[in-house]
Each structure stands twice: as C-alpha cells, then as structure tokens.
Structure 1
Amino acid sequence: MLNFSHNHNFHSANLTAKKNTLYAMIITISMMIAEIIGGIYFNSMALLADGWHMSSHALALGLAYFAYIMSNRYKSDARFSFGTYKMEILASYTSALSLLVIAFLMIYHSILKFINPESIAYKEAILIAIIGLIVNLICAWLLRSSHDHHHNHHHHHDDLNLKAAYIHVLTDALTSILAIVALGFGLLFGADFLDPLMGIIGAILVLVWAIGLLRQSGKILLDANMNEPIISKVVDILRLFRSDIEIKDLHLLKVANDKYTCIISLNSIDPIDINLIKKELSKHEELVHIIVEIYPK
C-alpha cells in the first residue's frame, strides 16, 4: 500500500444524505414487498405491477447508499489519487441510465394500452396509487431535507448522487399523481384513454430529468470542466503575476461538489517561485490541490 504525506481526501461525505437515503430505501423496499405479497394474495395484477415497478427505485436508492459507503470507506486510500468523489458520480450516472430504461418502458406499455385497451379496476388502482404517492412523498421529503441541509453548507453545488435518488422517488410520485388523475377521470367519466396518455406524459418528463442528470454526471466523469468560472480566475492570476508567463497547459479536475484540482504547466523567461503562484491561487477556496510546473522559454 502506497503512503503519502499529502491527503487526497478532498470530498466530505454528505452524512445526512447517506442516513436519509437508507431510510428512504427501507421504506421503499417495505412497500415493494407489501405490494408484491398483496398482489399475489389478492390476485391483483395492478398491485403486483406497482410492486415490481417500485423495485427499480429501491435498487436506485440502494445504489446511492452503496456509493456513499464506498466513497467514505476508500476516501483515504492512496490508490485513488484524486479522491473517491467520482464513485458517487458514477452511481448518479448509472441511476440516470436506469431512469431512461424506466421512461422507455412507460412509453412502451402506454402505447400497448392504446392499441389493446384493458378493463381497469379503478377503485383498487386508485387506492394503490394513493398509498404509493404517500410513501414516495415521505421518501422525497427525507431526500429533499438532505439536499437542503447540504446546500446550507456547500452553497449552490449539487450532490448528484443524492439528486439521482431524489429524481427516482420524484418519478414514482409523479407517476402516482398522474395515475390518480387519469383513474379518477376514468372512474367518473369513463375516459379510459387518459391512463395511457398520462403514462406517456410522465415518461417524457422522466426522459427530460434523466438526460439532464446524464449530462451533469457525464461531464464530471469525463473531466469536461474547462468552461468552469474558476478557469478564468486562474488565468487572470497567472497573467497578473508575470506578464511574460506563457500557459503551456492547464487542467481542471473536479474532486468534490465544490472543489477542484488544478494542474498547470508554464513557460517563463525568468525564474519564478512556484510557492508564490500556489499561494495566490490558493486564495480561491475551490482549488484544494494545485500542481504547478515551470519550464524555461
């Protein structure tokens, strides 16, 4: 095992999010098991289908919780030279992919219902949707409170792992709301077409959320950070420091929700004190790990 004097633990775990994600996962799994057992016992396909649908969100919550555990477990491991933050981002990206699958399945089954309408047990289905909505609102409140708590400490920066779990729960809550509206109109006015229509509308919203989450997490995984505002601040400091400095290379790597590693290669005619450059750059709290190389022109 490698040991270095410099600490690569740049990312502070969102402990509130970790705890509340576990609670949300337990609640979701409990509801999932109850619905599956109830569906089998009462011979209700609607109840059984909702139980299996909830299993996908239980899996996403489990993935988010696992990412928090692994990120914290290996945070001081020297093998992770830029910390373990990307474990959480990888979980976020995977959750976003699963949201895409859920959205396409929602569209597929909704189209099938348009083509081959089936009789709906409205009262039973509405009851299931209401129970599912209550469970998801509780989980959403748990995850939202974690999100707000984290923002109070880290300004506007998102915890994408938490955001992915939150969107999964929000997706299920949205599905329940749309289902209640569609089933209510179907029960009162016989508008059977609203059930698959609401399914397609919900799927489109899920697609939008999933694509946005994929872009955010994918950008971090691929280190596409060179358009971040901190870059212009770094360049301004280097230009003001010495007029003859030429920036040969500049890399910015995100190592936490609001922290970056900065690697700079410079060309200069005259010798420059690297420590002075680091001192100036360190005035920006976002930069937690600064590496500077200087080459003569």
Structure 2
Amino acid sequence: MGAGHDHGQQAARAGEKHRGRLWAAFGLLLTFMVVEAVAAVMTGSLALLSDAGHMFTDVLGMGMALAAITAASKASRAGQRTFGLYRMEVLAALANAVLLFGVASYVVVEAVRRFGQPPEVLARPMVVVAVAGLLANVVAFFLLRAGSRESLNVRGAYLEVLGDLFTSVGVIIAAVVITLTDWWYADPLIAVVVGLFILPRAYQLGRAALRVLVQAAPVHLDISVVRAAMLGVDGVADVHDLHVWTLTSGMEVASAHLALERDADFAAVLATSQRLLRDRFAVEHATLQAEPAEPANADDVCHGSGW
C-alpha cells in the first residue's frame, strides 16, 4: 500500500521552484567565465586560470542541474520509468563533483610545477578581473543560497560558487602582493591554496550523491529507531524487511513488512504506520505489506527477501 499523493512531483519541485534563480546564476557566471579565461591567457596568471576553471565547473554543473531538473519535472512515470527521471538530479551532482575534483587536481599539480620558475604575470588587469569575478560570485551565492537547503543539485552549484568566492579573494590577494612586491611566487601559491580548498568540498558532494545512488539509508535516520517506532503502532507484532533510502532530493522512500496481531485492524494499522513515517521521519512514500503474525498455514508465511 503506497501513500496516496504525488510524492514524485513534490520532490521534483524542490529543485524546480529554484530554476529561475539557477538560470540567472548560470548566465552571470558564464559571462564572467569567458572574461576570466581570456584575462588569464593575457596576464599569464595561474591563479586567475584556476578561478576561470572553477567557474567553468560552476557553469557546467549548473547546466547539468537545469537539464536534470527539467527532465525530472516533465518526466512521465508511465511504462518502465515507474519513478520517472528523478535520479537524473543525483547523477548530475555526481558528475559535478568529479569535474570539481579534476579541475582542482590539475591546478595543484600545475602550481607545484611553477614553483621551480614562476613566470611573470600582469598584476593590475588581474586585480580588475578578479574583483569583477568576486562580485559575480557574490550575486550567484545569494541567488542559490535558499535552494541549497532543498535540492542536492542546487546544493552542488551553491558549493561551487562558495568555493569560487574564496578563489576570487585568493586571486585578488595574489595580484596585490605581486603589484606591491614583485613576488611572483604568490600566483602559484594562491593557486595551490585554492585547489586544496576545493578538493574536500568535491569529495563531500560526491559522497552525498553516491550515498543516494547506492541506496544507503539517509544519514539523518536511524533505522533501529524507525523500526522501534513502527513496532509501537497498535496492532503491529513485528516489523521486518524494512528498507529506507533516498530517491532524490526531498524524496525519502521506505518499504516494510508488518506482522499484525490477530485482532488488528488492517486498514488502521497501515494508515497509522504511514502517517508515523511521514510526520515523524519525513518519509513521504512508504510501501507497506501487512501479514498475519500467526498464519493459518505455511503458505501464508512471508519469507522476506534474500538480500
């Protein structure tokens, strides 16, 4: 027995309602990504190139997020796609994390190589472009802040913009140091710091996406507590084959077998159990199977899953 309302559309709206802000941030950062890439080539700055590279992953990640949100909101659950395309959001977030990790690793390796003989860079235009990039990231940061609490995809874009904020600050610091002291090591040094700042955030995002893909229980739910709460429902003698996992952002799902006491009200137990999962644990979609605790014959015994 499943919950009787459209959980899929409710989950899809977690990302869809922030789509306008995501589009605005996408356009803004796309523009400044091009500006920074051109400026990095002109000035010879690795720090500025790292900022442009990071901004590239922002733009690409937001593009994937927009595509995933659009696909999920319009996907039909008919035919073989019984849950629609909601996992597209999680796949996009994982790809985003991989891209972040790759760019950060490249910047760190290239910066270490430059320590041997740091090239001269044009610091003044580097400052101007970095300040403009910082302002663009501040605007994008506030555009995505609210949505980051509700959608894994928006959260990925938000984390990238947050990292890019620090990247822009680092580039400004490097440019000022070079302008005042001609200490060219500031450029690769800041690039290393920025790369090391990005890496753990890429890991955290990838880990969150992988937890969803391997159908691990949500980190905020203790399965033993869920089982104990369901056992406390009047008429329930036992709970087994309990599974709880995340389908996509804002959509926790569960399935379980409930062994009922002899005089239990079948419909009341199912309704109470689903209400418990929804109200106490925010599990909106629950598929529950009820069975007698003492079956009349062996054929009525539920043997459960083999995994």
Same fold by TM-score greater than 0.5: yes
Q: Are the counterparts in 1 of residues 45 and 187 from structure 2 also a CA contact under 8 Å?
A: no
Query: Does residue 128 of the first structure (1) align with residue 129 of the second (2)?
Result: yes
Q: Are the counterparts in 2 of residues 71 and 84 from structure 1 also a CA contact under 8 Å?
A: yes
Query: Does residue 163 of the first structure (1) align with residue 148 of the second (2)?
Result: no
Aligned counterpart, 2:98: 97
Q: Are the counterparts in 2 of residues 252 and 260 from structure 1 also a CA contact under 8 Å?
A: yes
1:173-219: CA deviation from partner (whole Å, max 9, x where unpaired):
22111111122112212332222122111111111111111111211
Query: Does residue 293 of the first structure (1) align with residue 289 of the second (2)?
Result: yes
Deviation at 1:272? 4.6
1:50-94: CA deviation from partner (whole Å, max 9, x where unpaired):
656633322111111111111111165454334543221221111
SS of corresponding position for 1:287:
coil
Q: Distance in 2 between matches of 1:275 and 1:79?
A: 30
TM-score under structure 2 length normalisation: 0.79
Q: Distance in 1 between matches of 2:227 and 2:37?
A: 58
Alignment CA distance shift 1:136-1:203 (3 Å)? same
Aligned counterpart, 1:74: 75
Q: Are the counterparts in 1 of residues 238 and 258 from structure 2 also a CA contact under 8 Å?
A: yes
Q: Are the counterparts in 2 of residues 226 and 251 from structure 1 also a CA contact under 8 Å?
A: no
Aligned counterpart, 1:27: 28
Mean CA deviation greater in 282-291 or 72-81: 72-81
Q: For residue 112 of structure 1, what is the amino acid of its counterpart? A: R
Query: Does residue 220 of the first structure (1) align with residue 212 of the second (2)?
Result: yes
SS of corresponding position for 2:242:
strand
Q: Distance in 2 between matches of 1:266 and 1:184?
A: 67
Q: Are the counterparts in 2 of residues 8 and 76 from structure 1 also a CA contact under 8 Å?
A: no
Q: Distance in 2 between matches of 1:37 and 1:120?
A: 14
Query: Does residue 113 of the first structure (1) align with residue 114 of the second (2)?
Result: yes
Aligned length: 282
Unaligned runs of 5+ in 2: 296-300, 302-307
Aligned counterpart, 2:11: 11
Deviation at 1:37? 6.2
Deviation at 1:239? 2.1
Deviation at 1:278? 2.0
Deviation at 1:242? 6.0
Q: For residue 205 of structure 1, what is the amino acid of its counterpart? A: F
Correspondence list, 1:188-207, <5 A: 188-207=180-199
Aligned counterpart, 2:274: 282
Over the residues paired in the alignment, what is the CA RMSD in angstroms? 3.0
Q: Distance in 2 between matches of 1:37 and 1:118?
A: 18
Alignment CA distance shift 1:64-1:116 (3 Å)? same
1:108-150: CA deviation from partner (whole Å, max 9, x where unpaired):
1211211231011111211221122122222222112444xxx
Q: Are the counterparts in 2 of residues 61 and 165 from structure 1 also a CA contact under 8 Å?
A: yes
Q: Distance in 2 between matches of 1:217 and 1:177?
A: 29
Q: Are the counterparts in 2 of residues 133 and 176 from structure 1 also a CA contact under 8 Å?
A: yes
